[in-house]
Amino acid sequence: MAILDTTGGLDTTAGELHEEHHHGPAKGIGRWLFTTNHKDIGSLYLWFSLLMFLTGGVMALLIRAELFQPGLQLVEPGFFNQMTTMHGLIMVFGAVMPAFVGLANWMIPMMIGAPDMALPRMNNWSFWILPFAFAMLVSTLFMDGGAPNFGWTFYAPLSTTYAPPSVTYFIFAIHIMGASSIMGAINIIATILNMRAPGMTMMKLPLFVWSWLITAFLLIAVMPVLAGVVTMMLMDIHFGTSFFNAAGGGDPVLFQHVFWFFGHPEVYIMILPAFGIISQIIPTFSRKKLFGYASMVYATASIAILSFLVWAHHMFTVGLPLVGELFFMFATMLIAVPTGVKVFNWVATMFRGSLTFETPMLFAIAFVVLFTIGGFSGLMLAIAPVDFQYHDTYFVVAHFHYVLVPGAIFSIMAAVYFWLPKWTGHQLNETLGKLHFWLSFIGVNITFFPMHFIGLAGMPRRIPDYALQFADFNMVASIGAFIFGFSQLLFVWNVIQNVRSGEKASAQVWEGAEGLEWTVDSPAPYHTFSTPPKVD
Amino acid sequence: MGMIRIISRSFPLTLLPLTARAEWTVNLSPGVTEISRSIYDLHMTIFWICVAIGCVVFGIMFWSIFHHRKSRGAKAHHFHEHTLVEVIWTLIPLGILVAMAVPATATLVKMYDPKDAGLDVQVTGYQWKWRYQYLDQDLDFFSNLATPQEQVTNDQAKSENYLLEVDRHLVLPTDTKIRFLLTANDVIHSWWVPALAVKKDAIPGFINEAWAQIDEPGIYRGQCAELCGKDHGFMPIVVEAVSPEEFQQWLVAAKAEKAAAAEAANRSWTLDELMQRGEQVYLGTCAACHQANGEGLPPAFPALKNSPIAVGDVGAHIDIVLNGKTGTAMQAFRDQLDPVELAAVITYERNAWGNSTGEAVSPTQIADRIGAAQGEGN
């Protein structure tokens, strides 16, 4: 309260402030444009993420439609490359990351007993620059020479000397996204470290909060590196430097080192919050405390630290010296240890619990199984000599889609189904939720499992057309993609219906739910914990 | 934008051959070198380790899902911590990883030992073709995709090795340690032949090393593995492994062919001969960007039909074909094509698609131009 009063007192009268507190959200579009409320901003992030998920999904379906059969049917190779690039960028920076930030905004203050985020005005700004960044990125599709076509990893010199002119807009968009992420991360760290309710010690924090605290530090550490690498590209393209241009004495491999120094921790930025979500959901529906809370925290921190030491496993074929290959192989294999601990802890939590299988739990269980399959292929990829055969094939595509789709995306869906009754005050439509789950589960496996096979059989990634021996599994994968893609419309429908109407949800919502967020009404009032709760 | 086009007539054409040749390959091939076989063994070992761990972990999980469900009256137990268990399930995976790291390291050390090679081949990636130079043999050629464009656009039935066939194979001797030196001319490419377990990035400004010793004669096909622009999917690799004796015979024949081509540049060529030859060269080398109809894909790949260069000053036209244009995808073709091919393709470009200059460029004209440029260079 004291904090709000002081900041409010600077530019508004006490009367206005008083009114705002007691009358809930402002009316009209102004509510959303000028909001500093963590719940409003959380909703904005989540809706934006859904829009980007559908946009990136349409691109994925266009890719799969072209790959349904050998030969070129729908798109030119140049446009195909624009689709793979934009699909990757939009899903990583537009769908997954904003969804997690949206969940953090909604849930972290309620989970730690804080009235709002620590820096509410910056919170508004970190969201509202995102639509501009993505509008600019998507607008490149209509520019002369087309959108970025060099893959989401944008390796130089394909992305510098040989890039379409729209690359400059891409660089600017990346800068804005990076600024948004850094501001979001600062806000989350400030909130968690300073605004916990009395008695909420660090080792009592819900695991979702812990995992986001660690993720936020990763973001602050690596987003400036991404900004650095795109700035070096900008200099090469427009100002005559030769960071990555071999003809000018530069080094194309330097690009990859800098990019992956960002890129690998980025991978964990997209999975650690998912670990946090799963660690909330599994105990709830097992009606049993999470097994090994402290080891979960240490495992998450270990994964985060190791993530800075493994970047060159993306570069085993660039010609690293032998010692380098060995170092990065060993460090990468080591990541399997804390990740294994997490999976074992989830299974031990379920063991001898009292399990029920509501929609969030189904997604959480599918997460554990399918993410682990992605982890297994990750372990295979870590073995450097074998990686020479896997690298840049569909085996890699299968691997990272297993950790990102039934991994990160399933965790986000689990989280939405889990907390939606708290947000809207309406009980979930379980029938629709379960239908969505089973169609997604089947679709995702039909799409991505055969990609392991075509990768091992020798199909490189990022090609618009392929040899005949890859035809059968490609057709299967495309069919799966359409099942998965269209079943997401059920999700959209279910969420919209839930926002509009539904059976009244209790404050507790789920029988086994524990934590401060379940002590407030459903829907959660516009302002929660104006008076801090007492945590024993 | 014109980038999306529907070719409805293509669907029935491609469906038929597919059903007849289902393959459903699900695994790596063991390959034909000692290294490729040890990689295959490592792959299978780590795969079975993962399967075993998966069976245990998912087994326990599904046992819980089945037996510890509330609907069967399961009551939740209250244990939630056990340090010894945590230590055990940290140490066991660590042990498995160390056991796995040992053979992996041994294989990697072997892969990094290109010493005592019997033959050195320099491989250079270009957008979108490969150049092979047999060092110390004075033999040097480009290898282009041989699949006709009509098969790609579904106007023709697809051949057996669709997209995996080239105009000139990389011929290599068996039972000989071959060292590959890899680099690139423009962007990063990656030279990958699965049967040899060689995949190494070809990077401009760098020379990477890899090696292979092929045990069995045969044809081994691969592809570029690093996204390198529009036609990344259309630059295959075909290795033809033959016995060392046959390889020596092939070397002699290939050199003789090269000498004959040089000789052909000295005779005079008629416009018709040049046009005929030029069309072949154009379709193989130029049509990927400038398109078979000469209309290009502007703005990245300009049209040649009625272009100021193709109907204007012939000297400027020759220069751009020989030297390329920096900052664009237009390469220098001086080393890629011989004088006859260069003369033929330039003549073709100046007289096809309604470009009617009527001019024939002779191979000697090209040879002189190259000679003069080299003189200036010295």
- List, for residues A431-481, the tens digit of each pLDDT value: 999 999 999 999 999 999 999 999 999 999 999 999 999 999 999 999 999
pLDDT greater than 90 at residue B371: no
Cα(A114)–Cα(A108) distance, rounded to whole angstroms?
A: 8
Domain coverage including residue B206: 119-254
Whether B130 and B106 map to the same domain: the answer is: no
Identify residue A194 by its one-letter amino acid code.
Answer: N
- pLDDT of amino acid A536: 80
Cβ partners under 8 Å of residue B44, min gap 6:
none
Q: Determine the average pLDDT of the residues in B27-50.
A: 96
- pLDDT of amino acid B311: 87
**Within an 8 Å CB–CB cutoff, is residue B56 touching chain A?**
no
**Within an 8 Å CB–CB cutoff, is residue A287 touching chain B?**
yes
pLDDT band at B2 (very low <50, low <70, confident <90, very high): very low
SS3 A245: coil
Give the CATH number of the domain where residue B61 resides: 1.10.287.90
What is the number of other CB atoms lying within 10 angstroms of the CB of residue A346? Answer: 29
Cα(A237)–Cα(A126) distance, rounded to whole angstroms?
A: 28
Cβ partners under 8 Å of residue A480, min gap 6:
A442, A443, A444, A445, A446, A447, A448, A450
- pLDDT of amino acid A16: 44
The answer to whether residue B92 is domain-embedded is: yes
pLDDT band at A23 (very low <50, low <70, confident <90, very high): low
With beta carbons less than 8 A apart as the criterion, state whether A329 and A379 touch: no
Mean pLDDT of chain A: 94
Per residue in A190-243, pLDDT (tens digit) is 999 999 999 999 999 999 999 999 999 999 999 999 999 999 999 999 999 999
ipTM attached to this prediction: 0.91
Q: Please, which residues bridge with residue A393 across strands?
A: A460
What is the number of other CB atoms lying within 10 angstroms of the CB of residue A286? Answer: 28
Of B6, B162, B186, the CB nearest to A162: B186
pLDDT band at A1 (very low <50, low <70, confident <90, very high): very low
pLDDT band at A379 (very low <50, low <70, confident <90, very high): very high
Q: Which of the residues B33, B46, B84 would you substitute to probe the A interface, choosing the one with the greatest number of A C-beta atoms within 10 Å?
A: B46
State percent of chain A over pLDDT 90.
93
The answer to whether residue B15 is domain-embedded is: no
Per residue in B134-163, pLDDT (tens digit) is 998 889 999 999 999 899 999 999 999 999
Cα(A165)–Cα(A337) distance, rounded to whole angstroms?
A: 45
Within 8 A of B6 by CB-CB distance, chain A residues are: 73-74
Cα(A163)–Cα(B188) distance, rounded to whole angstroms?
A: 13
Burial B265-274 (b: 16+ CB within 10 A, else e): beeebeeeeb
pTM: 0.91
Crossing angle of helices A430-456 and A471-500, in 10° steps, is 160
- pLDDT of amino acid B7: 43
Q: In what side-by-side order are the strands of the sheet with B129-134?
A: B139-143, B129-134, B119-126, B177-184, B208-213
Whether B216 and B302 map to the same domain: the answer is: no
Q: Which of B192, B226, B254 is the last residue of a domain?
A: B254
- pLDDT of amino acid A155: 97
pLDDT greater than 60 at residue B349: yes
Q: Please, which residues bridge with residue B209 across strands?
A: B181
- pLDDT of amino acid B375: 64
With beta carbons less than 8 A apart as the criterion, state whether A433 and A295 touch: no
- pLDDT of amino acid A109: 97
pLDDT greater than 70 at residue B377: no
The answer to whether residue B276 is domain-embedded is: yes
Strands B189-193 and B198-202: antiparallel
Whether B237 and B321 map to the same domain: the answer is: no
Distance between start and end Cα atoms, chain B: 47
The active-site residue out of A39, A196, A314, A452 is: A314
pLDDT band at A76 (very low <50, low <70, confident <90, very high): very high
Q: Which of B254, B289, B320 is the last residue of a domain?
A: B254
What is the number of other CB atoms lying within 10 angstroms of the CB of residue A13? Answer: 10
Mean pLDDT of chain B: 89
Scanning every residue of chain B, which has its alpha carbon at the shortest distance from the alpha carbon of A393?
B225
- pLDDT of amino acid B24: 81
pLDDT greater than 50 at residue A178: yes
The answer to whether residue B18 is domain-embedded is: no
Domain count, chain B: 3
| Of A143, A148, A175, the residue nearest A159 (C-alpha) | A148
pLDDT greater than 60 at residue B10: no
The answer to whether residue B260 is domain-embedded is: no
Backbone dihedral angles phi then psi of residue B121, each to the nearest 5 degrees: -125, 125
With beta carbons less than 8 A apart as the criterion, state whether B23 and A472 touch: yes
State percent of chain A over pLDDT 70.
96
Q: Do A287 and B76 touch (CB under 8 A)?
A: yes
- pLDDT of amino acid B307: 87
Identify residue A423 by its one-letter amino acid code.
Answer: W
With beta carbons less than 8 A apart as the criterion, state whether B31 and B189 touch: no
Within 8 A of B194 by CB-CB distance, chain A residues are: 389, 458
Cα(B48)–Cα(B99) distance, rounded to whole angstroms?
A: 14
Total length of chain A: 536
Cα(B319)–Cα(B366) distance, rounded to whole angstroms?
A: 10
- pLDDT of amino acid A169: 97
CATH of domain A35-518: 1.20.210.10
pLDDT band at B22 (very low <50, low <70, confident <90, very high): low
Whether B223 and B330 map to the same domain: the answer is: no
Picking from A6-20, A477-491, B305-319, B333-347, which range would have the lowest pLDDT averaged per residue?
A6-20
Whether B192 and B159 map to the same domain: the answer is: yes
- pLDDT of amino acid B356: 83
pLDDT band at B376 (very low <50, low <70, confident <90, very high): low
With beta carbons less than 8 A apart as the criterion, state whether A33 and A128 touch: yes
Whether B246 and B141 map to the same domain: the answer is: yes
Q: Which of B62, B88, B111 is the last residue of a domain?
A: B111
Q: How much of chain A is helix, strand and coil, in % rounded to 5?
A: 70, 0, 25
| Of B230, B72, B128, the residue nearest A150 (C-alpha) | B230
pLDDT band at A38 (very low <50, low <70, confident <90, very high): very high
CA A42 to the chain's CA centroid: 14
| Of B162, B161, B160, B153, the residue nearest B10 (C-alpha) | B153
Cβ partners under 8 Å of residue B87, min gap 6:
none
Per DSSP, B105 falls in state H
- pLDDT of amino acid B23: 67
Whether B171 and B200 map to the same domain: the answer is: yes
**Within an 8 Å CB–CB cutoff, is residue B77 touching chain A?**
yes
Cα(B135)–Cα(B158) distance, rounded to whole angstroms?
A: 36
Cα(A85)–Cα(A195) distance, rounded to whole angstroms?
A: 40
Domain ranges of chain A: 35-518
The answer to whether residue B168 is domain-embedded is: yes
- pLDDT of amino acid B17: 45
Whether B130 and B193 map to the same domain: the answer is: yes
Q: Determine the average pLDDT of the residues in A386-415.
A: 97
Cα(A296)–Cα(A284) distance, rounded to whole angstroms?
A: 16
Helix (H) or strand (E) holding B92: helix B83-111
The answer to whether residue B1 is domain-embedded is: no
Cα(B219)–Cα(A87) distance, rounded to whole angstroms?
A: 36
Whether B291 and B371 map to the same domain: the answer is: yes
- pLDDT of amino acid A485: 97
Whether B234 and B284 map to the same domain: the answer is: no
The answer to whether residue B163 is domain-embedded is: yes
Q: Determine the average pLDDT of the residues in B110-130.
A: 94
Q: Which of the residues B115, B159, B203 would you substitute to probe the A interface, choosing the one with the greatest number of A C-beta atoms within 10 Å?
A: B203
- pLDDT of amino acid A504: 94
Query: CA A140, A142, A145, A146 torsion: positive or negative?
Result: positive
| Of A167, A165, A372, A525, the residue nearest B60 (C-alpha) | A372
pLDDT band at B18 (very low <50, low <70, confident <90, very high): very low
Q: In what side-by-side order are the strands of the sheet with B218-224?
A: B170-173, B236-242, B218-224, B189-193, B198-202
Whether B145 and B229 map to the same domain: the answer is: yes
